[in-house]
Amino acid sequence: MASSGEEASAGSPAPVVDTGTAPSCPEPGLSPTPPDSTEDFEVLEEDEDDLSELPPLEDVGRVREPPEDARCPEQDPGEAPEAPQEWLDVLGNGLLKKKTLVPGRGAESRPRKGQEVTVRLRAALEDGSVVEEDPGLAFTLGDCDVLQALDLCVQLLEVGETALIVSDAKYCYGSHGRSPDIPPNAALTLEVELLEARDGPDLELLSGKEKVIGSSSKVDFSPDEEAELLDVKVKCLNNLAASQLKLDHYEAALKSCNLVLEHQPGNIKALFRKGKVLAQQGEYREAIPILKAALKLEPSNKTIHAELSKLVKKHADQKTVETEMYRKMLGNPSAGGAPVKCKDKLPWSIPWKWLFGATAIALGGVALSVVIAARN
């Protein structure tokens, strides 16, 4: 039995050991026998974790670097963060844009409507020519005291922020422009820095010059304050008349000029603008004396002199046209003005009045003779 056992062991293949090399082929003449069912084999479960996502062994221990698009740019510790350079379409129509050049103190420092703000302003045309510079322009936000582009964009600025504003003419000076430096339909580039934003002061604490014109609050004015207030009122009315004249609102401009002249009859600007309004309305006869009065107050004013000369010429042309019209209406279209003599009339002809008178005398004499003869 021992020998048969040895023969069986010799005829069966040796156990396979995983050494990392390919298994050896059986010797010729020996058929392979199936493995013993009692042999222990390691079987992987189907629900075992998938190890395909693990890194290769050579990468173990290394620190993975983030992708290039997720890396933060290198920045010096003392360097301020870079300001955003994107353009903001304020109204969504592409006609008013804002870009931050220097960031401010945060969104909580933005001004509100009704607050008084102070800005540094620099305005330029598209060709780069500067048309306005103001290091400390102050106005009340939302009261439309300045350009609409400035009034809209300052509400988006933070205190300390410097921004670039590109505006269409629609939100600046429009189709009229601003003579002589801003042509009609000119777009503007505004560089604005918001210096300060503060609440409006109490009216009772203002001086006479700073008090609101036409305020309904009960405030007693001193004579000096009334004089200062009147001067401010006259300036406002003069500016109002100039704006109304540009917009061809002649009746409103005439009313503003008359209000100025009620307080200051010798105000040259009001006299000049009133003369221009009357000239635009065709009232040359009334406009000429007013412009002459303005020129008398300031004889060296070339603008008034030029306007008066132009107006006098227009008035002369108007009189010529009216004269010709009257002649045509009266049936005498001749240009000389002298009566035309009838060429068929002879110099020795007797006027019909004389002939009638002589006839009447003759008839009277005949009647008298008849009466005398009847009495005799």
Where does the pLDDT of residue 31 fall: very low under 50, low under 70, confident under 90, or very high at 90 and above? Answer: very low
Burial category of 88 from C-beta neighbours within 10 Å (exposed 0-12, middle 13-18, buried 19 and up) = middle
- Cβ contact 165:189 at 8 Å: yes
Percent of the chain with pLDDT over 90: 32
Determine the average pLDDT of the residues in 163-181: 91
Q: Coil, helix or strand for 120?
A: strand
In the predicted structure, residue 262 carries a pLDDT above the cut 80: yes
Where does the pLDDT of residue 273 fall: very low under 50, low under 70, confident under 90, or very high at 90 and above? Answer: very high
Q: Coil, helix or strand for 246?
A: helix
Give the residue with greater pLDDT, 295 vs 26: 295
- Cβ contact 174:213 at 8 Å: no
Question: Which pairing describes strands 96-102 and 87-89: parallel, antiparallel, or unpaired?
Answer: antiparallel
Percent of the chain with pLDDT over 70: 65
Q: Closest Cα partner for 109 from 151, 157, 149, 152? A: 157
Highest mean pLDDT among 4-13, 128-137, 220-229, 309-318: 128-137
Token pair recorded at residue 61: 């221990």
d(CA 215, CA 113): 20
d(CA 131, CA 365): 100
Q: Coil, helix or strand for 165?
A: strand
Token pair recorded at residue 329: 């209406």
In the predicted structure, residue 305 carries a pLDDT above the cut 90: no
Buried b (16+ CB within 10 A) or exposed e, 337-349: eeeeeeeeeeeee
The tens digit of pLDDT for each residue in 200-229 reads 766 555 555 555 554 444 456 678 888 888
Q: What residue has token string 């069966």?
A: 12
In the predicted structure, residue 71 carries a pLDDT above the cut 70: no
In the predicted structure, residue 83 carries a pLDDT above the cut 50: no
Give the residue with greater pLDDT, 106 vs 71: 106
- Cβ contact 141:154 at 8 Å: yes
Strand partners, 182: 178
At 50 the pLDDT is 53
Give the residue with greater pLDDT, 374 vs 193: 193
The tens digit of pLDDT for each residue in 283-302 reads 888 888 998 999 899 888 88
Give the residue with greater pLDDT, 81 vs 301: 301
- CB half-sphere exposure, 104, CA atoms < 13 A: 24
Chain-wide mean pLDDT for the chain?
A: 75
pTM of the model: 0.38
At 6 the pLDDT is 44
Burial category of 188 from C-beta neighbours within 10 Å (exposed 0-12, middle 13-18, buried 19 and up) = buried
d(CA 11, CA 21): 23
**Which parts of 143-281 are beta strand (E)?**
162-167, 188-198
